[in-house]
Copies of this chain bind each other. A is one copy, B any other.
Amino acid sequence: MKTSELEIAFAGSRMDRADRLRTDASALEAMKGPRARLLLLDGIAPRYADEGGLAWGTLADADPEAELVFLGLLEGAACFAAVDPALKVGRAAGPNFRQLFGLLSLDDLAIYGGAKALVDWHARHQFCARCGSQTVLAKGGWQRSCTSDSCKSEHFPRVDPVTIMLVELAGAPEPTLLVGRQPTFPAGNYSALAGFVEPGETIEEAVAREIEEEAGLKVRDVSYVCSQPWPFPSSLMIGCHAWTDDPALTIDRNELEDARWLTKSEVVSILAGEHETLRLPSSWAIAHQLIRWWVNRD
């Protein structure tokens, strides 16, 4: 199968980001009329329409104190989301994942995911990291600006690159894949290993470092497979494949409760829900899509 056939949750938004309008203050104001649509949120969780899907309102539904983020254009209408003033002082509860993935189409997930990442970023960046002064929303919500005349720093939404990788054992009698589990996973659940890209490394170097740190394996021939925006809070998941020649795992017990090899027939049985004890991630996780690609690769 081609990677373009994968169904990546939070990707594929139909929203036109219309970035040219972000810097046009008068156009932004003119769009804030009665035809504008407001994505209805409870803090950073979506509200659901009775008929299913995301719930939308008008700007009249927004708290008058809320900052408004311009999401883009959808079927000609300007779309906004509001940064609930309560978010600025508290820690917001994320959405219930069962509801989120059960009630939203891929289309709606993509719109919600982009909005959630932005709204959450605004809530957590009310102050200037450089000087500590208050910041204000700018460029329709795609920037925050420091209000101190001696600083005037500009801040941009964070997107944190994370590598997530399928490590395959070379020379195994059957295609064989490394998976691991964190102590917080439900019993029997395993996934691909993952970790943030750090300053000073390439994607390939981040993959190799994570696998060596967490599983004690040297990898080679790292290749990119696909990516996913993951708005909890603001990751860009970069899905890769790598080869190793060494089956002997040295597990970092601070990071992983367990790591193990799975053969392709085990993976197929788990994906079909036919394995007695083991589980792999659901379809909304890029790990699932990577594994699906791996199984159907040829």
Measured between beta carbons, the chain B residues less than 8 angstroms from A114 are: 198-201
Q: What's the Cα separation between A98 and B114 when bound, in Å?
A: 40
A78 at the interface (CB under 8 A from B): no
Determine if A131 and B127 form an interchain contact, defined as CB atoms under 8 angstroms apart: yes
Closest Cβ–Cβ distance, residue A61 to chain B (whole Å) = 22
Beta-carbon nearest neighbor of A223 in chain B: B224
Contact with B along A65-77 (1 / 0, CB 8 A): 0000000000000
Q: What's the Cα separation between A19 and B252 when bound, in Å?
A: 12
- In the complex, the 10 A-B pairs of residues with the closest C-beta atoms, listed nearest first: A114-B200, A117-B199, A127-B132, A224-B224, A125-B129, A203-B227, A202-B227, A129-B129, A132-B132, A11-B202
A35 at the interface (CB under 8 A from B): no
A126 at the interface (CB under 8 A from B): yes
Measured between beta carbons, the chain B residues less than 8 angstroms from A205 are: 11-13
As for how many copies of this chain the complex holds, the number is 2
Q: How many residues belonging to A are interface residues under a CB distance threshold of 8 Å?
A: 58
Assuming the A-B contacts A129-B124, A161-B159, are A228 and B199 also in contact, with contact meaning beta carbons closer than 8 angstroms in the complex? Answer: no
Contact with B along A273-290 (1 / 0, CB 8 A): 000000000000000000
The listed residue with most B CB atoms (<10 A of its CB), out of A110, A115, A199, A226, is: A199
Determine if B11 and A236 form an interchain contact, defined as CB atoms under 8 angstroms apart: no
Query: Which A residues between 117 and 144 are near B, CB-CB below 8 angstroms?
Result: 117-118, 121, 124-134, 142
Contact with B along A37-76 (1 / 0, CB 8 A): 0000000000000000000000000000000000000000
Closest Cβ–Cβ distance, residue A200 to chain B (whole Å) = 2
Q: What's the Cα separation between A286 and B117 when bound, in Å?
A: 29
Stretch from A25-33, A150-158, A242-250, A263-271 forming part of the interface with B: A150-158
Q: What's the Cα separation between A153 and B127 when bound, in Å?
A: 13
Determine if A196 and B156 form an interchain contact, defined as CB atoms under 8 angstroms apart: yes
A8 at the interface (CB under 8 A from B): yes
Measured between beta carbons, the chain B residues less than 8 angstroms from A196 are: 156, 159
Determine if B130 and A130 form an interchain contact, defined as CB atoms under 8 angstroms apart: no
Assuming the A-B contacts A229-B202, A231-B199, are A124 and B130 also in contact, with contact meaning beta carbons closer than 8 angstroms in the complex? Answer: yes
Determine if B197 and A19 form an interchain contact, defined as CB atoms under 8 angstroms apart: no
Closest Cβ–Cβ distance, residue A112 to chain B (whole Å) = 9
Contact with B along A98-122 (1 / 0, CB 8 A): 0000000000001001110110010
Closest Cβ–Cβ distance, residue A11 to chain B (whole Å) = 5
A234 at the interface (CB under 8 A from B): yes
Determine if B236 and A203 form an interchain contact, defined as CB atoms under 8 angstroms apart: yes
Query: Which A residues between 172 and 206 are near B, CB-CB below 8 angstroms?
Result: 196-205
Measured between beta carbons, the chain B residues less than 8 angstroms from A156 are: 160, 196
